[in-house]
Chains A and B, each alone.
Chain A
Amino acid sequence: MKEKIDNLKNKGGFLGWIFNLPYIAYSLIFFLIPLIWAIWLSTTDWNLMSNDKNFVGLDNFIRLFDDPRIIAAFINSFRYLLPIVILTFIGGLIIGLLVHKLPDKIKGVTAVLFFIPYLTSGVAVSVVVRYFFSYNSALNVLLRGKGIAIEWFSNPKTSFAIIVAIVVWKMSGYYALFILSALESISDEIHDACKIDGAFGMNKFIHVTLPMIIPTLTTVVVLLSGLAFGLFTEPYLLTGGGPNLVTTTWQLEIYNTSFTNFQSGYGAAIAIASAVQIFITIKIVTHVMGKLNHKYGV
C-alpha cells in the first residue's frame, strides 16, 4: 500500500499536468494564441478581409501618440477611474454597513436587492437612461416648464456624469457584497470586546472595523480600477464617445477602429497599448493598497 502511494507521489508531477491540461489548453486557445496573434496583427495593416497583410513594424504604435482619439481615451481612462473608484467604493461601503446593521431575517433579501442592478443588462439600462434624458421625457418637460433646458448628452459635464452615475449605481451593490461578507466575518467576540473597552460608533469603525476589512477593501479597489478601464456599453449607447471625445474609452476606440473603420492592425495596437496602461495602473494601485494594508490592516 505504502509503495503504491509513493509511486503515485512520484508521478504527482505528471498527474498534476494531466489534471491541469484542460485549463492549460483553454488558456492557450483563448489567451496565449490570441495574444500572440494580436501582437502580430498590430505590426500589420491588415483589415481581416484583404489578402494583403503588409508588415508595418511599429508604425501602428507610433501613430497612437499622434491620434487625438487615443490621447482622449488615455486621459479619459483616468478621468473615469477617479470618480468610479471613489464613488463606488463609498457607495459599496455605505450599503455594506447599512445591510450589516439589519436584522438577520431581512439581511439576505436586502443584499440581493442591492445586487440586482449588477445583474441588469448594461444595454437595457442605457436604453432606459436614454429615454429618461430624452427631449420629451417627463424630467425634461418638467425642467423646461421651469425655464431650464439641458441637452444632457451634448453637454460634456452632464454626459460624463451620467455615465459615471450609471456605473456607480450598477456596481455599488455588487461590491457591497464583498464588504458585507468581510463585516460579517468579524467575530462577535471582537464586538463584545469593543463594548467592554468603550469603543462605539465612528471610533469603533475607524479603529476596529476598518483595519479588519482592509484586505477586502484592497480587493474592491483593485477590481474597481480594472472596471474603470473596461467601459464600453454605456458610452457606446449613450454618447458614442462624444461630445468632443470627452466620454470616449479604450474599448470604444478599439471597437470603432477594428470593426467600423476596418483598421484591425491599428485596433490591435490600441488594444495592446490599453493593456499596458491597465497593467501599470493596476500595479500601482495594488502597490499603494498593499502598503495601506500593511500599515493599517490587522
Chain B
Amino acid sequence: MSKMTKIISVITLSTIMATSFVGCGSKAGNEKAGGTVNVSFWTAPQKVQFDYWTKKTQEFNKTNTKVNGKVVKMEIQQMPETPSSEAGIQNALATDSAPAMSENINRGFATTLQAADAIYPLEKEAWFEDIVKNRKLEKIMPGWEIAGKQYVLPQYVNPMVLQWNTKALKELGIEKAPETLSEFQAVLTKFRANKDKMTAMGVSHVFYRNSLIRPDQWWDRWSDFQNIYLSFSGGKPWVEGNKLVLDKEVTKEAFEFFGALGDTLLTSEIPNVWAEEKPAVLFTIAAPWEITALREGGKKYGTDFTYGPMIVKKQGDVAYNFADSKGLVLYKDVNITDDIHEGAVAFTKWLYNKENSAQTDLEWLKATKMLPVRGDLATNQTFAAYLKEYPELSALAVHVPNAIPSMPHSKMTPIQEALGTHLAAYLKTTMKSTDNKAKDATKYVDDAFTAMKKAGGLE
C-alpha cells in the first residue's frame, strides 16, 4: 500500500468517525470558562407553555443569579415528541442527554422516572420546604408521594369535572346539574322520554366519550373510569405499592355507570363538541384547557355550559375527582454536573420564593387558564380579581381539594390499558341498549382484574 493510499484511508476513516458522532455532545447544559453555567429546561410541547417559560427564563437570566461563582443561564426548548413527550425524555435519558429540569411530568410518569433513579428526591431539601410553605402546599403534597418521598413540584391542576349543556338541561326542566346517582338516572329517564324534543335542538345523545372504546388511549381512563371510581369509592386508590387495591364492587359500579347509558353514549368522533352551535350531547368530561377557545367561540359559562361535580352515589358523599396535574422535576444524568443541577435549583427557588411565588402562579393562570397548585388559591388576594373575571375557573377551583392525581406505579400505562380493554369490551355489549338498566359487568371486571395484575405484575 502506497503512502498516499494510507493517508487517504486514514483521512476517510477519521472523517466518517468524526461526522458519525457529531451531535452526541451534552444537552443538559454546559459550564463555560467565562463563569457561566447553562441549564437546559424542557417545556411541554405546547406553544402557550413554551411562551410562558420563555418569559420566565428571560426574567431569571436578567437577575444574574450565581451558583458557585458562576452565572446561571437558563436555556429552554420544547420537549421533543419522539414520538411522545415521555418517549422524548426516555430517549434523552438513554443517550445521556437529559435536560437538567422539565415541566409536564405527572405522578405516574414520575414514578417510572423514580424507579429508574432518573430524578432527584426533593422532600429533604430546605428550598423545597420553603416552596411548599410559600404555596401553602402542606395538605396537597401527601397526594404526590411516590414510595414515601417527593419527586415532583406540582405546578398545575385541572380537577376533572363534568361539563353540562345548560340549554338542553333547561329544556328537560332541570335547573341544576345532577350530583347524585339518582339525580343522574332521572336525567337519563327524562332524556329518553323527551327524545324528540332533544333531537329538535340537536342533542342526539347524553354523553360523548369517543375514547371510552379506545383502550390505546389509556390516559383517558383518568378522566372517565377513574373519575367515577373515585367519586363512588370515596377517593380510594387504584394501586398501593405493588398491590392492586381497586375495589372490585365499586369498579363494577363504575363500569355499569357507563353501561347504563346504553345507546345514549356517543363514541363517534366529534372534533370539537362544544364548538358546535348546538352541541350534540347533554354532557362531556370538562376540558378546562379549552376555556379560552370556548370564550372565543362565544360560549358563555352558565348560559351555554356549566360545570358539575363527579356523580356521587348519595347525597353528602364527597365528589372526589381525578387531578389532571403535572409538575416540575429535576433530572439525574451523567451529563448533569453539580453546578448545572444547582443552577436548576436556583431557578426553581427564584420562581417560587416568598416574593415571586404568587406572581409566578398568577402569570401561569393567565397564560394557560390552568389552575396553579396552591393551597391558598381561593383565599389569596393575588388571584381574586382574575378568578372573578373567570367564573368557570372559580367553579373548577372549588373541586381542587378533592382532586387526586394518577396512580404512583411505574407500570401505570399497561395497567390502565388493561382495564380500558375490558371496559371497551363491556361497552360493546351495552351500546345498543335502550333502557337505563345496565347489563351485569361482573365477568368483564373479573377479566380486567386478571389483566391488570398480569400487565402490572401486581399482587
Contact = CB atoms under 8 A, between A and B. Distances in A.
A152 B424 contact: no
Contact of B13 (A21, A49, A135, A259): A21
A259 B425 CA distance: 25
A262 B413 contact: yes
Contacts of A135: 266, 268-270, 280
A40 interface: no
B116 A18 contact: no
A30 B411 CA distance: 31
B91 A48 contact: yes
Contacts of A260: 84, 86-87, 218, 413
Contacts of B94: 48-49
A48 B270 CA distance: 37
A49 B218 CA distance: 21
A261 B413 contact: yes
Contacts of A47: 90, 112, 116
A134 B270 contact: yes
Contacts of A259: 83-84, 86-87, 90
A284 interface: no
Interface string B244-286: 0000000000000000000000111111000010001000000
A50 interface: yes
A154 B212 CA distance: 11
A140 interface: yes
Interface in A140-157: 140, 151-154
Interface stretch (B4-12, B144-152, B393-401): B4-12
A135 B93 CA distance: 41
A239 B217 CA distance: 10
Nearest to A257: B414
B118 A49 contact: yes
A242 B90 contact: no
Contacts of B183: none
Interface in A101-152: 130-131, 133-136, 140, 151-152
Interface string A226-270: 000000000000011111100000000001101111111000000
A50 B410 CA distance: 11
B424 A244 contact: yes
Interface string A35-51: 00000000000011111
Contact of A49 (B16, B112, B217, B417): B112
A86 interface: no
A29 interface: yes
B117 interface: yes
Nearest to A21: B12
B385 interface: no
B113 interface: yes
A158 to B, nearest CB: 11
B9 to A, nearest CB: 6
A39 to B, nearest CB: 17
A11 B2 CA distance: 10
B298 to A, nearest CB: 18
Contacts of B83: 255, 259
Nearest to B13: A21
A22 interface: yes
A264 B91 CA distance: 11
Contacts of A264: 90
Interface in B53-103: 83-84, 86-87, 89-91, 93-94
B115 interface: yes
A93 B146 CA distance: 60
Interface string B225-236: 000000000000
A244 B267 contact: no
A14 interface: yes
Interface string B419-435: 00000110010000000
A267 to B, nearest CB: 11
Contacts of A244: 424-425, 428
A119 to B, nearest CB: 22
Given A260-B413, A262-B90, A50 B12 contact: no
B174 interface: no
A261 B410 CA distance: 9
A134 B268 contact: yes
A29 B268 CA distance: 45
Given A135-B280, A136-B276, A255-B83, 10 more contacts: A47-B112, A50-B116, A130-B271, A131-B271, A240-B215, A241-B216, A259-B86, A260-B84, A262-B86, A262-B410
5 nearest interchain CB pairs?
Answer: A240-B216, A259-B87, A50-B116, A49-B116, A48-B94
Interface of B: 1, 5, 8-9, 12-13, 16, 20, 83-84, 86-87, 89-91, 93-94, 112-113, 115-118, 213-218, 266-271, 276, 280, 410-411, 413-414, 417, 424-425, 428
7 contacts: A18-B9, A48-B93, A134-B268, A135-B268, A240-B216, A244-B424, A255-B83
